Each structure stands twice: as structure tokens, then as C-alpha cells.
A and B are shown apart, each in its own frame.
Chain A
């Protein structure tokens, strides 16, 4: 399958600082990228959907000013957690999909473990 890479895989930051997570599609052009958050022993929760060159669409209850998403190119999307607090500590996962015709599955990055201290 296609490769989606996230960086960093782990990050620890101080409360009040911002953290940027990168998601890259390595061998295909991702017209759509998705960002998920997963708390321990829970399922993945979709945070937002972004199409290249457009503003992200956020799911209900997700603060767009806190979780800034940029999808400036067909191979890169970034999630910035602004003014992070301990409750933002979670596993963040991106997913990318090629927007061609027909059935195309989404591929996932390996995830980023964020710990806010």
C-alpha cells in the first residue's frame, strides 16, 4: 500500500507552547487528508478533513483555532496544537487519500504521541 509518514513520532512539550505535527504522503498525491485523535483505550476520533489548497473542515466540538491545519501541497499537511495543555496529550494520527476516480482507500501514518507536561 501507499506510504504516509508522520513526524515526529513522539513529542513532549511544556504547557502553553505550540507543537507542529507533519503528515506526508511519500509515493502518491493526497488530495484529501484527515486528522484523528485517540485517547488511551478508545477508538480514533476524527478531528478534521482537509483538501489541498482549501480550509479544513472541522468536526463538531473540535476547536479550529486550537488545532490549526494546513494542507498547502498535495504531499504535506500539518497539524499545529496551539497553547497545548495536559488534556491535549493524546495520540494524533493522520490519514491521506488519493483523489482519483473510483474506489480509493485511505492510508494512515504511524501516529504521533503528544505529551504535554
Chain B
């Protein structure tokens, strides 16, 4: 799996958009970009994933650059409950168990300030 680079921490004001960047310059053509978050002392929560098109769901939007070497997760209106560590992971989708394992980096600690 390709490695990702994320800033260790970010602050965001409550109610404002939170934009979390991720670099994945060595991503392969068949690798997807996944985002998970982990609120303190809980298991990770799936947020969104994409291949090359921008994606949006009820939680967030994912913007992937045209060359796919980086992406941005956008939380449109951050709340205090969005304070968590956000992980950007790239991996092959489908296939056998071994190729589907999620390898977590250090992630970005997003602190939403009141």
C-alpha cells in the first residue's frame, strides 16, 4: 500500500469548514483513498472513500486532485463532536483479505474549538 502524509494536528472553529489535507504521491492506479476517524477511546469510524472523482456523503466531502497525488477531506460545518484523529489511507479495493488490510499512519488530530 502507498504511504500517506498528513499534518499532525489542526484547529478549526466550531461551525466553520474543516479542510484536512493528505498527500499520497505514490498512489497506484487501482488504489482508493479512504478516510476514517477515531474519537478518543473508540474504534475508528468510516467516513468516505474515492478513486478519482470527488465524493460527498452525509458526513463529508472528498476532493481528489486530478493527478491523484493528494486529497482533502472537508467537514462542511465542524462541531465539537468532530474532534478526533482523522486517518487518510490508500489501499486496493476488492480482492482477498491480505490486499484489503488497512494500514494506519499517524493521522491528523483535529481539534474543533468553541
Contact = CB atoms under 8 A, between A and B. Distances in A.
Contacts of A24: none
A65 B102 CA distance: 23
Interface in A61-111: 91, 93-95, 97, 99, 101-111
Given A43-B107, A108-B43, A103 B101 contact: no
Contacts, number: 70
B105 interface: yes
A17 interface: no
Interface residues of B, number: 25
Interface residues of A, number: 33
Nearest to B46: A105
B29 interface: no
A110 to B, nearest CB: 5
Interface stretch (B10-18, B66-74, B75-83, B90-98): B90-98
11 contacts: A31-B97, A43-B87, A43-B104, A57-B97, A57-B98, A95-B44, A95-B102, A97-B100, A101-B94, A108-B36, A109-B43
Interface in A32-67: 32, 34, 36, 43-46, 49-51, 57
B94 A105 contact: no
A110 B34 contact: no
Contacts of B38: 44
Nearest to B32: A103
Interface string B26-37: 000000101010
Nearest to B107: A43
Contact of A34 (B45, B49, B96, B101): B101
B36 to A, nearest CB: 8
